[in-house]
Structure formats: C-alpha cells, structure tokens
C-alpha cells in the first residue's frame, strides 16, 4: 500500500448534526494522508520526473495531501459506496454542482441529495500550487533534482488581468507561482495579445522587471513581474522565463489513486472506511473532469496492485481536453489553448490522426489490459464552442462519427453554459467571468443528479444507462461552428465571435511530460464542430433542460423529451459565445 499513515486532525458532526432521510446524520473528518511510492513499480512508470525525486532509506518517494471525508454516523444506514469529488483548485464542487448548494457557502449540504443516497463522500488534495487559503485542499510534493541540484528550465506563464495593474504574480489566478531562477534573465520574454492565440507583440525587456510595487517603490521579487506602464484589463500576457523549481506534479494523480485505493481495500486500523466500501464513483467538473480524463489516459485508475480504483466516473464539462497534470513545470490551472492539455487523443477509442500519424485513444492503456471503468462524459454547449467536446465523438478529420466503447456514454446538455445557470440574470459570475450579455439561466444540476443515479445503477446493478446523446454528423446535428454565423448575426444584439478558437496540432517535443519546444510547433487545426441550431438559436441535439415538476435526482434528464416538447429559448450566448466573449476566461 502506498499510503503510509492517515492523520485525522479534526472530527465532528457535519452540519450541526443535521439528518438526511433514512441515512441519518453525517460526521466530517479532516486531516492529512501520507504516501510513499516506489518509482520502480510499473504503475508509477508514467509519472514525470518521479525518478528524479528524493527518496527515503527504503528507496521510496514520500509526499502528503490534505483530505476530507463525510461519512454516515451509522455506517449500516449508508450505501457502502464511496463518492469521490475531485477538488477544483482546492475547492469542493460536488455539493454545489450536484446538491445545488449556494455558490458562496463552504461545505453547505444544499438539497442533501448525495447524503440521502448514503454515499461516503471523499475529497483529497492533488494540485501542488493551490493557494494557502482556509478550507482549500492541496498536495505537498517534492521537487525534482538532477546531478546539478534542483531541476530548472523554461516555463511560459499566461495571465489576463481583470483590472489594470502594474504588478502581476507569475501564476494563473493567484496560484503559487514558479519562482524565477534569477532576477536578471536578459533572455526572458514578455508578450501581449488581444486574445488567446492572437498575434503577439513583444514588450521590450527594459520595460518590465521581476519585482513588485510596495509602498511606492519596486522591490525585487522572483515570483512577480512589474511594468511601470501597467498591464491592461482583458489583454493576454505571456511571460517566458527560467524557473528555479520543478515539483513532481504527477504525484497529485498518485495521491487520488492511492488514497481511494486505501479507503476501498485496506483493513488497517487507520482506515476510516475499512470494511465498508463495495463500490466507488468519481465526479470531476471542468478542471477536475479534465483531471479524471488524464488519470484514465495514464491508466492510473489501477493501483499499484493492479486493482481498480473507481468503478464509475463522471467527467463533466471537461470537453475533449486533459491538462498539465503530469508535466515538468506543469500549471494545472492553465486554460491557454497552446498547452499540453490540448493534445491528441480526445476520444475514448483508439484512432489515428492522419496529419501526424499518431495512433492513440484516451482509454488505450486500460483497454489493452482489459480494465473497463464505466464512464460518463457530459458537456454543455460551452464545451462544444470553446472546449472541443465534439472531438470526443467525431474523428480527427471531422468527417466521421465515432461509436464509443460499450462502457462509455457521452451526453450533451443542450442550451446550457459551462456553469449552472442561476437567477437573477447578470453579466458577471462568482468566478470573475464577465459576459457581453447576461449569463444563461438554464440549470443543468438536475441532469447531473440524474447522471449520478444512472451511473450508480450501471455500476451496482449492471443496469445500462440510455444511449449516448450528442450532436452527430450522420443526422446533420453536428456542423462547423462558422456555418452558424448568419443565424446568430440575425438575432438582435447577439452577433458572432470574431475570433473563434480552432484547436491546432501542437508539438511540444519528443518527450512526454517535458516541454522541449516553447512555444510549441503549431500544425494544422482540428475541425471545430458544434450542435446545429434552429433559426431561433435553439440547439437541435442533446438533452433538453429539465422540465418542471420533476423531483430532484429523478432520471428524467437522461430520457428523451416527449413529443412536442420545446426547450426554453436560450440566449444565443448559451452556445459558448458568452464564454468566448467574456473579459476573463475564468473557467473552473
């Protein structure tokens, strides 16, 4: 077992002892889990730079992570199932995105859906650069070392200010930065663009420095950059420099794998779930959904003893991407297009890219070993317009529909945006996102509760869920995004984005996990396909928003709409256009 010990720091009643139906009351456990992994174990072969991490006397690499557990006080009343929520930038999301808890409430049970179903709910830190904020869960990993000491190298950090400023941290949205290896660095480069992937202008090196403004003066600082003329709100800035540290980022994947494996299989006295867990489900939303896709791609849904970690997985609003979750100098929160998270493959089954000659599939490594977790890929309109979701079920040429594996379902929540819609309508969101038009009101969370029910039934009782439902080429519900220009232009005050993003083929160099080309060599673009719409801008494919009068968690969200049913007419920006036009691509 890779888990060496579990230290419970706090234990107490959850929510003041509130009860949830037949399950009753829950208790909350917070603490730290300690790990030691063997670099020689085949299960760890794909963790970048693991061989360069410091080792203990037994030759193992040690690290630790924060964790949180909610479990029924009376375990006999629980479902004996573990529901793992992949934290998003250190934050719990399932209570908001499944239980409909308020967005600004920490650990609020919301409608109690997951509790009433009796799940033991688990969270574990996996991201190394999460800010030190109360309640945030992070992983603590060692830095890679070579013969010369700490591994150093070139890194590109991108930021987009929400307001004008003269100082910026060298990170995305306040995450812990990669420090510069020196303050001079004459070869460091700062560029500015009007939008991601747009033409870049180099800012003279003499105009900026590694430092921050403090009490009227500029103080040298390896984690910030300062520019007297100021950084403009909405502009995209990219700083390329040499950093002084190389955390073994991929150990975050091992933390999730090994903690859940320990809770599921270990009979050790320190295991708070010993002897209780029969099935395991995982949920990841946005960044966390991309994390789960990456975990599957690296076959890390099998533990060091080749046992399955998760029986069922929901990767929600992840589109076709993965992330910088196993990369030297990786920035897990990075959303820029030219990232290793944007690389082929996108679909679960194996296919070949005729432009590069590469043959691969998201689940190729697991399939080759006969390991088949049940998988839901769920996306909204935003991920089709700005997350390349179509590439999960249409081939790399854009000419053929792909039939997913028998153990995979792909569902499109039509007429919905990346974040669940709320009322009253507004131009801003808690994430900091700003839209030209009010954000969508369509709430996809009832559909997510339906997905949880369906996945649980599939895992627990082998009851197959409804067939995949998404835009397709063979019925003309999947179309090139540009083909809808005239429809949206005809809608008053809607318009059409000037700079639609077409994902390009990027070449970062010959070594997976280590960037050799910075910036990457850019090749031919992939097709950009979205759901076709009617003349009012309503999507023709996917699951319509939930109908009124249904109980929360009812499986209606994954059943066909009745004849004659018409979806609520969404704002044209529902289709990802608001996401494309917003000032700050905050995304989650």
pLDDT digits 0-9 by tens, 185-214: 999 999 999 988 889 999 999 999 999 998
Does one domain contain both 265 and 386?
yes
pLDDT at position 572 over 90: no
Q: Residue 176 corresponds to which tokens in the numbers above?
A: 């812990």
pLDDT on residue 437: 83
pLDDT at position 578 over 50: no
* Angle between helices 251-265 and 287-297 in degrees, nearest 10: 80
State the alpha helices, DSSP H only, in 193-286. Answer: 251-265
Could you tell me the pLDDT band of residue 544, with boundaries at 50, 70 and 90?
A: confident
For the chain, the average pLDDT equals 90
Does one domain contain both 284 and 370?
yes
pLDDT on residue 565: 32
**Burial, 255: exposed, middle or buried (Cβ in 10 Å; 0-12, 13-18, 19+)?**
buried
Here the CATH number for the domain that contains residue 63 is 3.40.50
Does residue 465 belong to any structural domain of this protein?
Answer: no
pLDDT on residue 545: 63
Does one domain contain both 226 and 276?
no
Residues 322-348 have pLDDT tens digits of: 999 999 999 999 988 899 999 999 999
pLDDT at position 172 over 90: no
Does one domain contain both 368 and 314?
yes
pLDDT on residue 196: 84
Q: Which residue has the higher pLDDT, 502 or 92?
A: 92
pLDDT at position 580 over 70: no
Residues 375-415 have pLDDT tens digits of: 999 999 999 998 899 999 999 999 999 999 999 999 999 99
If one counts the domains in the chain, the total is 3
Phi and psi at residue 181, in whole multiples of 5°?
-75, -15
Could you tell me the pLDDT band of residue 440, with boundaries at 50, 70 and 90?
A: confident
Does residue 121 belong to any structural domain of this protein?
Answer: yes
pLDDT on residue 436: 77
pLDDT on residue 173: 84
Does one domain contain both 292 and 254?
yes
Does one domain contain both 208 and 275?
no
Cα–Cα dist 578/434, whole Å? 8
pLDDT at position 157 over 50: yes
Domain boundary (209, 243, 277) is at 243
pLDDT on residue 418: 93
pTM for this entry = 0.93
**Average pLDDT score over residue span 559-564:** 34
Alpha-carbon distances of 334 from 158, 267, 444, rounded to whole Å: 8, 38, 25
pLDDT at position 215 over 50: yes
Cα–Cα dist 256/262, whole Å? 10
Does one domain contain both 392 and 482?
no
**Average pLDDT score over residue span 360-369:** 96
- Cβ(238)–Cβ(157) below 8 Å: yes
Domain range enclosing 539: 478-513+521-581
pLDDT at position 573 over 50: no
Does one domain contain both 266 and 292?
yes
Does residue 449 belong to any structural domain of this protein?
Answer: no
pLDDT on residue 558: 54
Could you tell me the pLDDT band of residue 430, with boundaries at 50, 70 and 90?
A: low
Give the three-state DSSP class for 386: helix
Domain boundary (175, 209, 243) is at 243
pLDDT on residue 249: 98
Q: Which residue has the higher pLDDT, 482 or 547?
A: 482
Does residue 17 belong to any structural domain of this protein?
Answer: yes
Does one domain contain both 158 and 300?
no
Range with lowest mean pLDDT among 36-50, 217-231, 313-327, 573-587:
573-587
pLDDT on residue 301: 98
pLDDT on residue 563: 31
Does one domain contain both 157 and 138?
no
Range with lowest mean pLDDT among 311-315, 410-414, 528-532, 582-586:
582-586
Cα dihedral sign, 164-169-172-174: negative
Reported as type and span, the H/E element at residue 159 is: strand 153-159
Does one domain contain both 168 and 127?
no
pLDDT at position 105 over 90: no
Does residue 436 belong to any structural domain of this protein?
Answer: no
**Average pLDDT score over residue span 157-176:** 92
Cα–Cα dist 518/236, whole Å? 17
Does residue 452 belong to any structural domain of this protein?
Answer: no
Cα–Cα dist 329/324, whole Å? 9
Does one domain contain both 41 and 123?
yes
Does residue 192 belong to any structural domain of this protein?
Answer: yes
pLDDT at position 581 over 60: no
CA count, 13 A, side-chain hemisphere, 430: 10
Does residue 206 belong to any structural domain of this protein?
Answer: yes
Domain boundary (396, 419, 442) is at 419
Cα–Cα dist 33/139, whole Å? 10
């Amino acid at each position: 077992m890779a888990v060496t010990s579990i230290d419970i720091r706090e234990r107490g009643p959850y929510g003041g002892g509130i009860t949830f139906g037949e399950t009753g009351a829950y208790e909350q456990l917070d603490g730290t889990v300690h790990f030691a992994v063997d670099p020689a174990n085949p299960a760890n072969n794909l963790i970048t730079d693991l061989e360069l991490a410091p080792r203990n006397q037994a030759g193992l690499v040690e690290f630790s992570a924060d964790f949180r557990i909610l479990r029924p006080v009376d375990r006999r009343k629980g479902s004996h199932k573990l529901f793992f929520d992949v934290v998003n930038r250190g934050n719990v999301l399932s209570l908001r995105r499944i239980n409909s808890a308020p967005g600004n409430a920490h650990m609020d049970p919301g409608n109690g859906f997951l509790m009433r179903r009796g799940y033991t709910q688990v969270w574990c830190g996996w991201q190394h650069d999460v800010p030190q904020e109360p309640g945030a869960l992070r992983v603590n990993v060692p830095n890679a070392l070579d013969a010369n000491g700490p591994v150093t190298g070139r890194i590109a950090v991108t930021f987009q200010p929400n307001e004008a400023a003269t100082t910026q941290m060298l990170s995305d949205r306040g995450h812990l930065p990669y420090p510069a290896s020196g303050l001079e660095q004459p070869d460091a480069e700062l560029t500015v663009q009007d939008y991601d992937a747009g033409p870049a202008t180099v800012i003279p090196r003499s105009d900026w420095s590694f430092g921050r403004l403090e009490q009227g003066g500029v103080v040298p600082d390896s984690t910030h950059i300062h520019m007297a003329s100021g950084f403009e709100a909405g502009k995209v800035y990219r700083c390329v420099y040499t950093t002084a540290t190389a955390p073994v980022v991929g150990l975050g994947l091992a933390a999730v794998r090994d903690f859940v494996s320990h809770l599921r299989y270990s009979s050790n006295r320190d295991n708070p779930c010993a002897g209780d867990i029969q099935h395991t489900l995982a949920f990841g939303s946005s960044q966390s959904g991309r994390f789960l896709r990456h975990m599957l791609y690296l076959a890390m849904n099998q533990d060091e003893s080749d046992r399955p970690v998760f029986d069922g997985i929901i990767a929600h609003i992840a589109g076709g991407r993965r992330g910088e979750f196993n990369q030297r100098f990786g920035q897990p929160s990075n959303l820029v297009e030219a990232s290793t998270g944007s690389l082929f493959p996108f679909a679960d089954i194996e296919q070949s890219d005729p432009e590069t000659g590469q043959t691969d599939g998201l689940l190729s490594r697991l399939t080759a070993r006969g390991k088949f977790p049940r998988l839901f890929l769920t996306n909204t309109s935003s991920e089709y317009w700005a997350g390349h979701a179509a590439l999960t079920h249409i081939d790399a040429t854009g000419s053929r529909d792909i039939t997913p594996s028998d153990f995979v379902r792909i569902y499109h929540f039509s007429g919905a945006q990346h974040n669940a819609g709320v009322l009253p309508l507004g131009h801003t969101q808690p994430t900091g996102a700003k839209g030209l038009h009010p954000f969508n009101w369509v709430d996809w969370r009832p559909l997510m509760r339906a997905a949880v029910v369906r996945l649980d039934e599939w895992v627990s009782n082998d009851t197959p869920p409804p067939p995949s439902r998404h835009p397709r080429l063979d019925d003309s519900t999947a179309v090139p995004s540009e083909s809808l220009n005239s429809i949206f232009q005809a809608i008053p005050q809607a318009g059409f984005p000037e700079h639609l993003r077409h994902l390009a083929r990027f070449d970062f160099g010959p070594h997976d996990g280590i960037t050799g080309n910075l910036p990457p060599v850019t090749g031919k673009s992939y097709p950009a396909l979205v759901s076709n719409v009617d003349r009012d801008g309503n999507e023709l494919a996917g699951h319509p928003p939930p109908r009124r009068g249904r109980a929360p968690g009812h499986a209606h969200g994954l059943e066909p709409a009745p004849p004659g049913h018409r979806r609520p007419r969404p704002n044209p920006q529902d289709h990802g256009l608001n996401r494309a036009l917003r000032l700050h691509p905050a995304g989650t």
